[in-house]
Each structure stands twice: as structure tokens, then as C-alpha cells.
Amino acid sequence: MIEFISIAIIPFMVLIIVLHGYIKGVDVYNSFIEGAKEGMKTSIKIMPYLIGIFIAIGIFRGSNAMDMFIDLLSPITNILGIPKQILPLVLIRPISGSGALGVVRDTIAHYGPDSMIGKLSSIMMGSSETIFYTLAVYFGSIGVEDYGHTLKAALLSYVISIFISIFICKFLI
Amino acid sequence: MIFIGIIYAVYTGNLGEINNIILTEAEEGVMFAISLIGIMAFWLGLMNIAEKSGLIKSIAKLFRPLLRLLFPEIPKGHPAERWILMNFIANMFGVGNAATAFGLKAMGELNSLNRDKKVATNSMAMFLIINMSSLQLVPLTVLKIRYDYGSSNPTDIIGPTIVATTFSTIIAIIIGKFFEVAKR
């Protein structure tokens, strides 16, 4: 059911909006063009920010500095009961969405989709976001440099969400 | 990130790789922005229709109490409300590019309420904290991978994922509010 909604939502929304606009006597075509122009302007405006962000994230990922962090963190995560096999996902998830998806694919290929680790990585992937990327794109687009408490709060929530996923996997499935 | 990355690359003798990354990622950034142009134009165009027909206004009215609670700083009826709402809805159903388009508009509107343009406001923080807690109900890409690798029941993670997402979003809101209070 939810899968169906996910697929049908866009065509359905388009239909409703256009129909509603038409009934209310809105100049549908010109309104669309007007809004579309603004959309184009915004995308061009954020391009330099995006280039900077992509390079920064790419360098961090490509230098394999990540592996170093995994080694550094593993003693701590062992104590906390986080399975070692999902550490790469835990670390890459906030940085790169496509990278994380690649890790999930590796994990599932290696441990099997129905294994505990396979399910855990699926649930973690689905219940978290690319924190750094989102932060950089959204704040970058308006030129805000001081993020306030945003990053702290997001990372804290992320850590807690990892434990929620582990808890759900261990006790509810 | 650049700093740690490059230092580590020097340490591991991986510098050549960095050159490649700068080239490919610069291109990637341009490509991403260009790919955004079409989808941004489409969604903002569509939303402009919904705006004029009054559709967005009625939807926004429906969710106003919730928005008031989360974003007390946004004046009643301010356009930021609408974009935030549209972003949340698009996120829930996993329409990522539409969510980005709405989210960027929301940030722009929130910034128009911002007195110090360099510093994030509480509303911006809360908006992004909720966004980054993941709102998506069904992770379609994950389902695809599970299906590809022969899971006996690829969709059995949907329920647990929704539970996990709901809890993580609630916790994110609480943490966000906590930081707001602590700052005062």
C-alpha cells in the first residue's frame, strides 16, 4: 500500500494541482512558467556552493581517512554493542548517500539480505539521512556560516537512531 | 574535511587520487546543480499554480498547529510555512528531488526572517534537524537491493523502518527543542 502511494504520489499531485488551478480560474501555464523561472534561478545560484561541498566530501571519502576512523572507533563501539560489520555504514551514512547505498549493497551481498546484519543495515539506511551533505547544501544555498546547534543536535539524534535500529533488530524481529 | 582528507592522503601516499577527486567532484557538483534546474523549475512551477489556486493555503492551514509548535518564530501565514510543509510531505514519500527544491525555498524564506544573515536561526536548525532525522517512510532503493540479492521477503523491513524513523524524528525534535531552551 505504502509502496503504491510512493509511486503514485507524483502523478496524483500533478493532476490535483493542475485541475484545482484550472477550476479556480488560474492561468495555469503562465503561473507554471513564472514559478519555473524562479526555480532555475535558485539552482544556478547554489551551483558554486555545491561544487565546493562535493569536492570537500569527495576528498574526505577518497583519501580513505574513513578507514582510519573505523579503526579508531571500533574499541568504543564494541563496548556499546554496535556490531562491527555495520561500522562502515554508520560512518559513511552522514557523509554520502550513494556511498552508503554502496555499503548497504556490499553488506547485503556479503551477509545475505535476511541475516540480522543485512536487516539492520537496511533499517539503518532507511531511517537516517546524509547529515553533512544536507547541512552543507541547505545552509550553503543561503550563505549561512554559523550553523548554531544544528550539527550537534543532528549528530546526537543520529547516534540515538543507530541504537534504536539495533534495538528494533534485536528485540522486535 | 579537506584538511583531514589531504593530510591522510599524504600519509598513505594517495595524493594522485586527490587530483582525480577534485576533477570528478567539481564536475559532479556542476552536474548536480544542472540536474536540479529541471526538477526545481518543474516543482516550483507547479507549486506556483497551487499557490495561486489557494490549494497550498488550505493545506497549510490544516497543519498550522503542528508548525506553530515546531517553529514558533515563523509569523502566521508566512510563505516559509508552506515550503517547510511541502518539503516534509515530499520527504515522507521519498520524492527526494522535490523535497530538495521545496527545502531550498524554505531556507530562503527562513533567511528572510533572519536578522543576522551569517548565523542560523532556531527555525532553520529545527527544520534541518527534522530533515536530517529522515522522514522517508519507504526506502525504495534499499528494497530494490534486498530484492536483487534474493531476500525471501524484501519488504519485511518496511514496518521496522517506519518505527525506527518515527522514533528518530521524535527524538530529533526533542533534542532540537532542548538545544533551543539551553541556548536561552
What is the mean pLDDT of the segment spanning B104-132?
A: 93
Contact A9 B93 (CB under 8 A): yes
At A152, which amino acid appears? K
pLDDT top residue among B76 and B177? B177
Contact between residue A88 and residue A66 where contact means Cβ atoms under 8 Å apart? yes
CB of A6 within 8 Å of any CB in chain B?
yes
Domain parsing of chain B, residue ranges: 1-53, 66-183
Contact B49 A35 (CB under 8 A): yes
Contact between residue B145 and residue A105 where contact means Cβ atoms under 8 Å apart? yes
Contact A161 B167 (CB under 8 A): yes
Contact between residue A122 and residue B141 where contact means Cβ atoms under 8 Å apart? no
Contact A164 B167 (CB under 8 A): yes
User: Nearest by CB to B2, which of A37, A59, A114?
Assistant: A59
- Give whole-number Cα distances, B59 to A46, B18, B50, B51, in Å: 29, 48, 10, 10
Contact A128 B168 (CB under 8 A): yes
Whole-model pTM? 0.81
DSSP string, B24-67: HHHHHHHHHHHHHHHHHHHHHHHHHHHHHHTHHHHHHHHHHHHH
C-alpha distance from B93 to closest chain A C-alpha (Å)? 5
Go through B12-22 and write b for each residue having 16 or more CB atoms within 10 A of its CB, e for each that does not: eebeeebeebb
Residue in B145, B147, B166 with CA at minimum distance from that of residue B92 = B166
Contact between residue B94 and residue B139 where contact means Cβ atoms under 8 Å apart? yes
State the pLDDT confidence band at B125, using cuts at 50, 70 and 90: very high
Chain B residues within an 8 Å CB radius of A114: 151-153
State pLDDT tens for residues B18-55.
888 888 888 888 887 887 788 888 888 888 898 888 88
CB of A168 within 8 Å of any CB in chain B?
yes
CB of A78 within 8 Å of any CB in chain B?
no
C-alpha distance from A79 to closest chain B C-alpha (Å)? 22
CB of A91 within 8 Å of any CB in chain B?
no
Chain A residues within an 8 Å CB radius of B98: 10
Residue B119 phi, psi dihedral angles, 5° rounding: -110, 140
State the pLDDT confidence band at A2, using cuts at 50, 70 and 90: low
User: Nearest by CB to A168, which of B111, B163, B171?
Assistant: B163
Asked whether residue B67 carries a pLDDT value surpassing 60, the answer given is: yes
Residue B139 phi, psi dihedral angles, 5° rounding: -80, 90
Q: Could you tell me how many CB contacts below 8 A there are between chain A and chain B?
A: 344
Q: What is the pLDDT of residue A122?
A: 93
| CA dihedral sign of residues B133, B173, A78, B5 | positive
CB of A32 within 8 Å of any CB in chain B?
yes
Q: Respond yes or no on whether ipTM tops 0.85.
A: no
Contact B8 A137 (CB under 8 A): no
Residue in A150, A108, A111 with CA at minimum distance from that of residue A125 = A108
State pLDDT tens for residues A92-140.
898 888 778 888 988 898 899 999 999 999 999 989 998 988 888 899 8
Q: What angle do CA A51, A48, A97 make, to 5 degrees?
A: 35
| Per-chain mean pLDDT for chain B | 86
Query: How many other β-carbons are positioned within 10 Å of the β-carbon of residue B172?
Result: 27
